[in-house]
């Protein structure tokens, strides 16, 4: 079939399908209409994009077979449509909540949610950073292939020369957060984040968590989160341990930030110190350590 004929054929299918979907929407409500319309449009887009993927776009292989759905590269990250890709990996249901712009995927042993605008995916209670976030194009949500593959137990290799992402099944679905996270680590890390950066930007919360974990992994400091926070070998290291705010209940964002840090999300891998230079009682850190960046009211140092 010639390209022009193929496009007309696909448009005809779409027109007929949308008409049928509109009747379904009248009979079963707007939610059914929205879901059916999205499914129909995604199938047609996938068919139309097949040639684009093979000629200058990105190619995706799943267990060696070509993924025929829509995929593209954005800021050095390969994105795939969450509905179609999840169904290929074994999802039993993918739903969309329009009011919150949240996609929910259910599979055997797996529940994951992605809220548009949030920087993370929640998979079985695990918080996985999305990098540049999710993207919505023409009614379809796209997510980074590496993150969704991690949730389903796949690993992804990238071939730059062939512009190909290859996903291979290596394990079962992602372990539950209930068993993966150490409850004491979550408690103390979220508490210090809340006490030091509860009113700071989310990136500031992540950065404080990074400092604590960077210290834990450094031979210069204790090798536990609790030990780092309550370290006083050279004087009190974190003011909240002295004024008692370390014992306050952390807010939701502080808990999420703690879990993201425990998953390995690190925006300041070299930072070991931070201070609020406007309120700091000592200038030793700013006088003796190399400043890396400023986030909110905190300056971070190596």
Question: Are 111 and 198 members of one domain?
Answer: no
Q: Domain end: 177, 207, 238, which one?
A: 177
Question: Are 157 and 146 members of one domain?
Answer: yes
Question: Are 195 and 286 members of one domain?
Answer: yes
The total domain count for the chain is: 3
**Quick one: pLDDT band at residue 53, thresholds 50, 70, 90?**
very low
* Contact by Cβ (8 Å): 288, 199: no
**Each residue's pLDDT tens digit, 171-215:** 999 999 999 999 999 999 999 999 999 999 999 999 999 999 999
Question: Are 186 and 163 members of one domain?
Answer: no
C-alpha–C-alpha distance, residues 78 and 164, integer Å: 9
**Quick one: pLDDT band at residue 16, thresholds 50, 70, 90?**
very low
The CATH number of the domain where 237 resides is what? 1.10.10.2520
**Each residue's pLDDT tens digit, 211-267:** 999 999 999 999 999 999 999 998 899 999 999 999 999 999 999 999 999 999 999
Q: Domain end: 35, 55, 75, which one?
A: 55
* Dihedral (CA of 49, 51, 56, 57) sign: positive
Characterize 93-102 residue by residue with b for buried, 16 or more Cβ atoms within 10 angstroms of its Cβ, and e for exposed.
Answer: ebebeeeeeb
Question: Are 37 and 130 members of one domain?
Answer: no
Contacts of 160 (CB under 8 A, 6+ apart): none
**What pLDDT shows up at residue 263?**
98
Q: Residue 139: is its pLDDT beyond 90? A: yes
SS3 readout for 266-290: CCCCCCCEEECCCCCCCCHHHHHCC
Q: Domain end: 177, 197, 228, which one?
A: 177
Question: Are 71 and 163 members of one domain?
Answer: yes
Question: Are 210 and 260 members of one domain?
Answer: yes
Q: Residue 15: is its pLDDT beyond 70? A: no
Three-class DSSP category at 223: coil
Question: Are 63 and 96 members of one domain?
Answer: yes
Q: What percent of the chain has pLDDT over 90?
A: 77
Residue (of 91, 196, 192, 78) closest to 145 by Cα position: 78
CA 130 to chain centre: 3
**What pLDDT shows up at residue 255?**
98
Question: Are 33 and 133 members of one domain?
Answer: no
The CATH number of the domain where 99 resides is what? 3.30.457.10
Residue (of 154, 152, 150, 148) closest to 135 by Cα position: 148
* Dihedral (CA of 8, 40, 53, 136) sign: positive
* Dihedral (CA of 64, 65, 69, 72) sign: positive
C-alpha–C-alpha distance, residues 118 and 127, integer Å: 11
C-alpha–C-alpha distance, residues 78 and 147, integer Å: 10
Question: Are 60 and 170 members of one domain?
Answer: yes
Which strands make up the sheet holding 71-74, listed edge to edge? 71-74, 77-81, 140-144, 135-137
Question: Are 51 and 125 members of one domain?
Answer: no
What domain range is 34 assigned to?
A: 1-55
Question: Are 156 and 199 members of one domain?
Answer: no
Token reading at 33: 């209409």
């Amino acid at each position: 079939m010639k390209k022009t004929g193929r496009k007309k054929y696909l448009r005809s299918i779409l027109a007929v399908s949308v008409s049928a979907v509109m009747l379904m929407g009248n009979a079963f409500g707007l939610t059914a209409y929205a879901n059916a319309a999205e499914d129909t449009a995604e199938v047609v887009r996938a068919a139309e994009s097949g040639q684009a993927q093979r000629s200058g776009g990105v190619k995706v292989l799943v267990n060696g077979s070509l993924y025929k759905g829509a995929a593209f590269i954005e800021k050095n990250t390969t994105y795939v449509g969450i509905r179609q890709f999840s169904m290929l990996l074994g999802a039993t249901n993918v739903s969309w909540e329009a009011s919150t712009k949240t996609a929910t995927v259910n599979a055997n042993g797996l529940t994951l949610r992605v809220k548009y605008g949030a920087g993370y995916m929640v998979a079985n209670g695990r918080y996985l950073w999305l990098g540049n976030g999710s993207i919505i194009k023409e009614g379809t949500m796209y997510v980074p292939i590496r993150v969704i593959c991690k949730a389903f137990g796949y690993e992804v290799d990238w071939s730059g020369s062939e512009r190909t992402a290859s996903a291979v099944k290596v394990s079962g679905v992602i372990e539950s957060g209930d068993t993966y996270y150490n409850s004491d680590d979550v408690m103390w890390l979220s508490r210090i984040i809340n006490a030091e950066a509860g009113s700071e930007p989310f990136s500031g919360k992540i950065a404080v968590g990074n400092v604590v974990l960077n210290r834990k992994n450094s031979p210069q400091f204790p090798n536990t989160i609790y030990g780092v926070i309550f370290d006083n070998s050279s004087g009190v290291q974190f003011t909240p341990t002295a004024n008692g705010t370390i014992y306050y209940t952390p807010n939701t964002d502080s808990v999420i930030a703690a879990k993201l840090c425990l998953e390995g999300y690190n925006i300041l891998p070299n930072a070991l110190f931070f201070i609020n230079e406007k309120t700091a009682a000592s200038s030793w850190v700013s006088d003796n350590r190399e400043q890396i960046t400023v986030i909110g009211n905190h300056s971070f140092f190596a």
